Chains A and B, each alone.
Chain A
Amino acid sequence: MQTIFGKSVFGGIAIGKISVYKKGEQQVKRVKVEDTQEEIERFHRAKEEAIKQLQGLYEKAVKEVGESSAAIFEIHQMMMEDEDYLDSIENIISSQQLNAEYAVATTSDNFASMFSSMDDDYMKERAADVRDVSERILSILNGESKDTVQTQEAAIIVADDLAPSETVQLDKEKVLSFVTVHGSTNSHTAILARTMGIPALIGTPVALDETVDGKMAVVDGMKGCICIEPDEETLAMYQQKKKEETEKKQLLQTLKGKENITLDGRKIMVYANIGDTKDLAMVLQNDAGGIGLFRSEFLYLEKDTYPTEEEQLKAYKTVAETMAGKRVIIRTLDIGADKQADYFELEKEENPAMGCRAIRICLTRPEIFKTQLRALFRASAYGKIAVMYPMITSIEEIRKIKTIVEEVKTELKEQGIAFGDLEQGIMIETPAAVMISDLLAKEVDFFSIGTNDLTQYTLAIDRQNPKLDEFYNPHHEAVLRMIAMTVENAHKAGIWAGICGELGADTSLTKTFLKMGVDELSVSPGNILPLRKIIRETDLSQEQ
């Protein structure tokens, strides 16, 4: 039995087998092959398939974003058919009698280093294109030869760290827990674990190799440790604990259908945060009053190219219809900083958290923004949709958004496409927005305070940096005053204000928020019922 400690980001107990998650590039093994001719043919089949995929992406992109943005897929095809590239791969296979995967990976490294050694920033970045092209071929080769798909049964996922684009690809039904070697409490793996209500650990020094893969383990989200190959006694103890936990959960279920009201009669809306339509089952199970934050960027992150208006409409419509008349707040694209999608081709930035992200991308690339707005307006014909804009810092931004919104509505009207009207609100997540919240409140229908970014910007602490966790105090008086000020200014202008950041679920602050007059708390589905329990036990008249 081996016990390794890390930092817990969500409590609970998971018992199951470990599945070590490795990135594609690490899966390449060097294997001797007998029949090199067949191996070369195997490579060509994979390459042809890859070209077919790229052709499909190209045609789709031409239709959606136009010829010039689609050109990258054509260039990728040319790279795959480049004689020098092919010669190198075939050479390694035939002269060294090695497998196609190894030949592709080695050639990829060589060509990529040719670009990265060039004294031109633009060309340096092309190394990523070479890797992308090669990864595509590799994944096809792997799919052909590997008969096991990641995990067949539900497992504890152990990884170095997971990028948002990787977590979206995991089949969530098959994840019991996340344990990562790196990552911080605010990383996306952590947020995802909270959404799913499963135990998760970060900063856990687990060996990522065969020594743990497939082994039985217990993740204790309370103590913050993973116990690999537990002895019988330990396992029995955890099974008992897990049973008690389940019973506690069932008790919370008795709170379903009850109001979110304090003992002295103050009501508050409790909504759910979701990142995918797959989370809707959790939303309904936990009796959310609505959706306070639907992170639309997951629609963008799980794809290789821009999601179309129809694809977006389908997702928004599903949420609107499932929530059957309850409010659904959809946040427009919040990409950039730690959430990247290759096809946006965003430039590398010195300081991405303060860079071109969220509404800034939408306002500089209005065609992407318009597609999303069209889908949102059309979906609002099917339910009560509200739209929320992230990273607002000025009145001018809201005016620009309004101009684009008017254009979208006019276009839809002219084209005779049905659409509904929707509430428009903004995220309050910059100190600038807080300071002018009195002015902003006159322009919009509601505020939603994003405490994660607001805390990061107020305290000047990078939330991706795990070394700063000790300085990161989410209960900092400055942050609480920011929230109080925002709520006060919202009420003065007659609009409502909610909290959709992680702080909303912090039950040690629930009473504080109720006193401030916060109108809505939007939390991960798993936190709704525990929060309802606290609200129903609170008596505001007893204090002061």
Chain B
Amino acid sequence: MQEFQYKITDPEGIHARPAGLLVKAAKACASSITIAKDGKKGDAKKIFAIMGLGAKQGDEITVIVEGEDEEKAAQTIEAFLKENL
């Protein structure tokens, strides 16, 4: 299992467009990817779950990656977050 924290810097938070891109990126990975915020958890491959977290600028999210390609997947998602959110 891989786990890391990330602080949202995008002024609009995880709004529709980046949420869509995140789901796309997550779906390309074989591992299961879960995003947690304030006790709420969402599957990163499901757009409603991700948008439902309501993550805003300044919020800290926890990313949990589990599966055969977890190392690579965690890197991919971290890079994605840094670039887009």
Binding site for B on A (CB under 8 A): 68, 71-72, 74-75, 78-79, 82-85, 111, 114-115, 118-120, 122-123, 126, 129
Cα distance A86–B12 when bound, in Å?
Answer: 28
- Identify B20's interface contact among A74, A111, A119, A123, CB under 8 A: A74
Which one, B15, B24, B48, contacts A79 given CB within 8 A?
B48
State whether A75 touches B47 (Cβ < 8 A). Answer: yes
Q: How large is the interface on B (under 10, 10 to 19, 20 to 34, 35 or more residues)?
A: 10 to 19
Bound CA span A450–B17, Å: 40
Task: Give the complex CA separation of A394 and B2 in angstroms.
Answer: 60
- B19 near A: Cβ within 8 Å? yes
Q: Are A122 and B15 in contact (CB under 8 A)?
A: yes
Contact A123 B54 (CB under 8 A): yes
Question: Which B residues are in CB contact (< 8 Å) with A68?
Answer: 17
Q: Which residues of B40-85 are within 8 A (CB) of A? A: 43, 45-49, 51-52, 54, 56
Given known A-B contacts A115-B51, A120-B54, A123-B51, A82 and B16 have beta carbons under 8 A apart: no
- A84 touching B17, Cβ below 8 Å: no
B23 located at the interface, meaning its Cβ lies under 8 Å from any Cβ of chain A in the complex: yes
Contact yes or no, B47 A79, CB < 8 A? yes
Known A-B contacts A118-B54, A120-B54, A123-B54; A75 and B48 likewise in contact (beta carbons under 8 Å): no
B16 touches A129 (CB 8 A): yes
Given contacts A82-B47, A83-B46, A122-B15, contact A75 B54 (CB under 8 A): no
Is A71 in contact with B17, judged by CB distance below 8 angstroms?
Answer: yes
Contact A114 B52 (CB under 8 A): yes
A122 to B51 Cα, complex, angstroms: 11
CA distance A48 to B12 in the complex (A): 31
Q: Which residues of A contact B19 (CB under 8 A)?
A: 75
Is the CB–CB distance between B48 and A84 below 8 Å?
Answer: yes
Distance in angstroms between the alpha carbons of A119 and B48 in the assembled complex? 16
A-B residue pairs in contact (CB < 8 Å), sample of 18? A68-B17, A71-B16, A75-B17, A75-B19, A78-B20, A78-B23, A78-B47, A79-B47, A79-B48, A83-B43, A84-B49, A85-B48, A114-B48, A118-B54, A120-B54, A122-B12, A123-B15, A126-B51
In the complex, the chain A residue whose C-beta lies closest to that of B48 is A82
Give Cα A287–Cα B19 distance, bound, in whole angstroms.
56
* Residues of chain B at the chain A interface (Cβ within 8 Å): 12-13, 15-17, 19-20, 23-24, 43, 45-49, 51-52, 54, 56
A126-B16 contact given A78-B47, A118-B54, CB 8 Å threshold: yes
Whether the pair A75, B52 counts as a contact (CB closer than 8 A) is no
Q: Name the residue on A nearest B49 (C-beta).
A: A84
Cα of A82 to Cα of B46 in the assembled complex, Å: 5
Q: Which of A68, A82, A111, A126 has the most B CB atoms < 10 Å from its CB? A: A82
Query: A85 to B50, alpha carbons, bound, how many Å?
Result: 13
- A502 → chain B closest CB, angstroms: 40
Which residue of chain A is the closest to B45 with respect to CB atoms?
A83
A115 CB to closest chain B CB (Å) equals 7
Interface pairs A-B: 8 shortest CB-CB:
A75-B20, A78-B47, A82-B48, A71-B17, A118-B54, A75-B16, A82-B46, A82-B47
Shortest beta-carbon distance, B28 to chain A, in Å? 13
The answer, among A82, A119, A120, for a CB contact under 8 Å with B13, is: A120
- Residues of chain A lying within 8 A (CB to CB) of residue B16: 71-72, 75, 126, 129
> In the bound complex, how far is the Cα of B43 from the Cα of A71, in angstroms?
21
Q: Which residue, of A72, A84, A115, has the highest number of chain B Cβ atoms within 10 A?
A: A84
Shortest beta-carbon distance, B11 to chain A, in Å?
11
Closest to A79 in B: B47
Q: Which residue of A lies closest to B54 (CB)?
A: A118
Chain A residues near B24 (CB-CB < 8 A): 78
A78 to chain B, nearest CB (A): 4
B25 to chain A, nearest CB (A): 12
Contacts A72-B16, A79-B47, A114-B48 given; 5 further ones with Cβ under 8 A? A68-B17, A75-B19, A78-B23, A120-B56, A123-B15
Find chain B residues with CB under 8 A from A83 CB: 43, 45-46
* B15 nearest CB neighbor, chain A only: A122
Residues on B with beta carbons closer than 8 Å to the beta carbon of A115: 51-52
B12 CB to closest chain A CB (Å) equals 7
CA–CA, A114 and B47, complex, Å: 13
A10 to B12, CA, bound (A): 48
**CA A386 to CA B77, docked complex, whole Å:** 54
Q: Are A111 and B48 in contact (CB under 8 A)?
A: yes
Q: In the complex, A216 Cα to B23 Cα: how many Å?
A: 54
